[in-house]
Amino acid sequence: MKSTLLVGALLTAITTTGALAQTIKLADVAELSGGGATVGTNWKNGIDLAVEEINAKGGILGRKLEVTHADSQSNPGVARAQVQKALDAEPYVLLGPGYSGSVKVTAPLAAEAGITQIMGGEAAELTQAGNKFLFRTSFGQQSSMPKVAKYIHDDMKAKSVAVVWVNNDFGRGGRDVVIKELERLGSKVVADLSTEAGQADFAADVGKIKAANPDAVFVYLNEEESARILKELKRQSVAAPLMGETTLIGQKVIELAGDAANGARGHVGLTTDAPVDLIKGFRDRFSKKYNYVPDHNGLKGYLAVYMVKATTEKMGKVDPKAFADTLHGLTIKASEEPGILMDVSFDQNGDIDRQSFLVEVVEGKQVVKQVLPKLK
Amino acid sequence: MIERGERAARERKMSNLFDLLVAGLATGAIYALVAVGFTLLWQTSQTINFAQGEFVMLPAFLMLAAMHVGAPFWLASILGILLSMILLGLAFKMLLVDPMMRHGVLPLAIATMALAIGMKEAVKQFFSAEASPFPSIVPTGDISVLGHAVSLQSLGVLVVAILAVLCLTTLLNRTSLGHQMQAAAQNPTVARIIGVPVERMILLTFLINAFLVALASLLITPIYLAKFSSGEVLGQAAFIAAIVGGFNQVRGAIIGGLLIGVLDNLAAAYVSTQYRAAVPMIFLIAVILFRPQGLLGRAEERTV
């Protein structure tokens, strides 16, 4: 009797210490301060929520998750140093950063260490460099722009389109893809207008749009410039419908542009307003834990952790070396892994394919008008 | 059918040109307000104020701050203008111009550059680095002028700016106070001998400049949004306008401002958006080369 007890106690001790030693370590580097603080904080909170949920249900393959957070201060230089430090601790997977610029400088480090990086950046070029360890949590421009072009051609029935874009990497990247797609579908680009980052006066640009008299206008600028051009479009009474991306119909733009934002439409990869039950559930749990409604970065952080879970369970073992290979080409179904919220597929570049949403600004509020299907 | 299409296209082009002219004049009128202040300060106290653009940026934030503590927009506007006159008129003269003036024109000009940086950083620090919305004193909408739809906002800006400039020129040319100011500007020594209170006249021009920039702020911020960096473009445009028009002439600054506003808009539409900022610069160089006193300026000799 005594010996059985002893053995039992010993066994418990061994398994507990074993479980402790076997936690799966994730490292997160995010914009926790500086200009991207909203992005990074949402991302971090999303991660923490997912980790808490998974651990409460017994972890992944019986092993608990453990995550460390480091602050990139929204600065690519600091991000690089923090990622190097995180990689030195040999995490299972690296999460973040959220800014494309920070991803660009840190991705080579993770690839060299052979550690998979799941990040928040959306610039097209990130996944074009042949990096075999980099994965997105949201659409890159090469996935979102074809959906935008399809909507302009099929739903807006626009035969002629004016394209206004901001002359930087972000704007040029989006402009190149959307124009190619529009022309492939048969919508004519009647005005191709580049504007400057920080531009204040859009009178001439809107004048040119008016002169071109298009069926639809595609606006691809940063938030502040979007607000200014929306005001100018209203001032010059341009009647053509406006289409954009998250940057045209975001909350900040609506706040800045006031009623000039009404009627603007945009393609949104992820939104917590999506008419999807699993996303509503996420939004409720998140708001309950943190007392505020998350933006899409909260969703991205949450999804990153569930990508780790689904991939690991697919492999049936915790194997950092085989992780990236398994995730390439993988389709994760929400019916099998509810934490992934919507069915998602990853291609060989780490790009994502998923349902997305068409949002319209109605009386100062974002309203989801349509669910756009996966591309493939 | 084709003919009708061509006619429609031609009409669209004409109305586009008209829109561009109206929008250009509206922006130009704001440049003119700022440029007039520039020339006033130069004439009476040889101050080249490189912080003039930031002087336009700040009043909007003063007004926003007033609204933040609960003042309605009209009250906030008045408070903002008054506060601007105290800070950007009185305090600017007493705390920066007077002490620096003794060291010459150049140190003073450099001090105003430092002030510009200080103001931008302070707004960034105490307010926000992000843009804020700003209400418009003119309602949005169109009215029909000569069969063309013209935006009320452009027209409102134009009317208010022209009224302000008219009042100013009346003050300068038709009143005793204005004559005293001109005398103080043209020859302070003689003015002092005949009993003009030169110091007070100089202070008055600083207050007028502060009023003009606050007015410009009220007009331009609804379009440009309130942001710490929004003075950079304005200051540069006003500086160019003042030189093009003639640094020593109020009416020169007005013509310069309108010209730069229209030129900038036409350049963006018909030359290229990328090079729009270069066109006024090229124009500036041409003026400096061929008519250094400015389009309406008087030639003057001064050792700087």
Percent of chain B with pLDDT over 90: 50
In this predicted structure, what is the pLDDT of residue B217? 95
Chain A residues touching B12 at Cβ < 8 A: 210-211, 213
Contacts 24+ apart (CB under 8 A), B4-8: none
Q: What is the CATH number of domain A2-138+275-342?
A: 3.40.50.2300
Query: What value does the mean pLDDT take over residues B115-127?
Result: 91
Report yes or no: A172 at the B interface, CB cutoff 8 Å. Answer: no
Residue A278 identity (one-letter amino acid): L
Report yes or no: A237 at the B interface, CB cutoff 8 Å. Answer: yes
Residue A366 identity (one-letter amino acid): Q
Q: Is residue A300 within 8 Å of A283, Cβ to Cβ?
A: no
Tokens 């009220």 correspond to what residue? B218
Read off the tokens for A303.
Answer: 């999804």
Of A194, A204, A237, the CB nearest to B142: A237
Report yes or no: A195 at the B interface, CB cutoff 8 Å. Answer: yes
Tokens 């393959």 correspond to what residue? A61
H or E element that contains B11 = helix B2-45
Q: What ipTM was assigned to the predicted interfaces of this complex? A: 0.78
Report yes or no: A204 at the B interface, CB cutoff 8 Å. Answer: yes
Alpha carbons within 13 angstroms on the beta-carbon side of residue B115 total 25
Q: Is residue A262 within 8 Å of A242, Cβ to Cβ?
A: no
d(CA B116, CA B113): 5
In this predicted structure, what is the pLDDT of residue A16? 47
CA A346 to chain centre: 14
* Tally of CB atoms within 10 A around B200: 12
The domain spans of chain A are 2-138+275-342, 142-268+357-372
Class of domain A142-268+357-372: alpha beta
Residue A315 identity (one-letter amino acid): M
Q: Say if residue B2's pLDDT is above 60.
A: no
What is the set of domains in chain B, with CATH numbers? 2-290 (1.10.3470)
In this predicted structure, what is the pLDDT of residue B303? 43
In this predicted structure, what is the pLDDT of residue A7? 57
What is the bridge-based pairing of β-strands A188-195 and A160-166? parallel
d(CA A291, CA A141): 32
In this predicted structure, what is the pLDDT of residue A17? 46
d(CA B155, CA B161): 10
**CA–CA distances in Å: residue B70 to residues B67, B73, B218:** 5, 9, 18
> Are the Cβ atoms of B133 and A227 closer than 8 angstroms?
yes
H or E element that contains B210 = helix B198-224
What is the bridge-based pairing of β-strands A365-372 and A356-362? antiparallel
Q: What is the model's pTM?
A: 0.78
Which carries the bigger pLDDT value, residue B138 or residue B4?
B138
Chain B residue with the nearest C-alpha to that of A209? B16
d(CA A224, CA A209): 19
CA B65 to chain centre: 22
> B100 Cβ partners below 8 Å, 6+ apart?
B107, B108, B111
In this predicted structure, what is the pLDDT of residue B269? 81
H or E element that contains A359 = strand A356-362
Of A195, A228, A232, the CB nearest to B273: A195
Rounded to the nearest angstrom, the minimum Cα separation between B180 and chain A is 39
H or E element that contains A165 = strand A160-166
Read off the tokens for B151.
Answer: 């935006």
Report yes or no: A168 at the B interface, CB cutoff 8 Å. Answer: no
* Tally of CB atoms within 10 A around A133: 23
Sequence length of chain A is: 376
d(CA A273, CA A334): 18
* Tally of CB atoms within 10 A around B49: 32
Read off the tokens for A238.
Answer: 């341009």
d(CA A293, CA A302): 14
* Tally of CB atoms within 10 A around B128: 14
Q: Is A201 helix (H, G, I), strand (E, B) or coil?
A: coil
| Phi, psi for residue A293 in degrees, rounded to 5 | -85, 125
Chain A residues touching B24 at Cβ < 8 A: 203
Report yes or no: A280 at the B interface, CB cutoff 8 Å. Answer: no
In this predicted structure, what is the pLDDT of residue A297? 92
Report yes or no: A200 at the B interface, CB cutoff 8 Å. Answer: yes
Report yes or no: A164 at the B interface, CB cutoff 8 Å. Answer: no
Residue-wise pLDDT tens digits, B202-259 = 999 999 999 999 999 999 999 889 988 889 889 999 999 999 988 777 888 999 999 9
Q: Which sign does the torsion angle of CA B121, B123, B127, B133 carry?
A: negative
Angle between helices A203-212 and A223-235 (to 10 degrees): 60
Q: Is A68 helix (H, G, I), strand (E, B) or coil?
A: strand
Average predicted confidence (pLDDT) for chain B: 87
Collect the ranges in chain A with pLDDT lower than 70.
Answer: 1-21
d(CA A308, CA B160): 61
d(CA A355, CA A46): 20
- Radius of gyration (Cα) for chain A, nearest Å? 23
> Are the Cβ atoms of A211 and B13 closer than 8 angstroms?
yes
Chain A residue with the nearest C-alpha to that of B268? A204
Residue-wise pLDDT tens digits, B29-68 = 999 999 999 999 998 888 899 999 999 999 999 999 999 9
Helical ranges in A37-140 per DSSP H: 37-56, 76-88, 100-113
d(CA A345, CA A321): 20
Q: Is residue A111 within 8 Å of A85, Cβ to Cβ?
A: no
Residue to substitute from A74, A166, A167, A236, interface B, most B β-carbons within 10 A: A236
Domains A2-138+275-342 and A142-268+357-372 share a fold: yes
Of A119, A148, A144, A146, the C-alpha closest to A134 is A119
Helical ranges in chain A per DSSP H: 2-21, 37-56, 76-88, 100-113, 141-150, 169-185, 203-212, 223-235, 246-249, 251-257, 277-290, 296-315, 320-327
User: What letter would DSSP give residue A89?
Assistant: T
Rounded to the nearest angstrom, the minimum Cα separation between A268 and chain B is 23
The confidence band for B131, taking pLDDT boundaries of 50, 70 and 90, is confident
> Are the Cβ atoms of B223 and A231 closer than 8 angstroms?
yes
Beta bridge partner(s), residue A193: A164
Q: Is residue A356 within 8 Å of A373, Cβ to Cβ?
A: no
Q: Is residue A265 within 8 Å of A242, Cβ to Cβ?
A: yes
d(CA A31, CA A95): 12
Alpha carbons within 13 angstroms on the beta-carbon side of residue A224 total 21
Chain B residues touching A230 at Cβ < 8 A: none
Angle between helices B105-126 and B52-68 (to 10 degrees): 30
Q: Is residue A244 within 8 Å of A219, Cβ to Cβ?
A: yes
Residue-wise pLDDT tens digits, B143-174 = 777 777 777 888 888 899 889 988 998 998 89
Chain A residues touching B27 at Cβ < 8 A: 201, 203
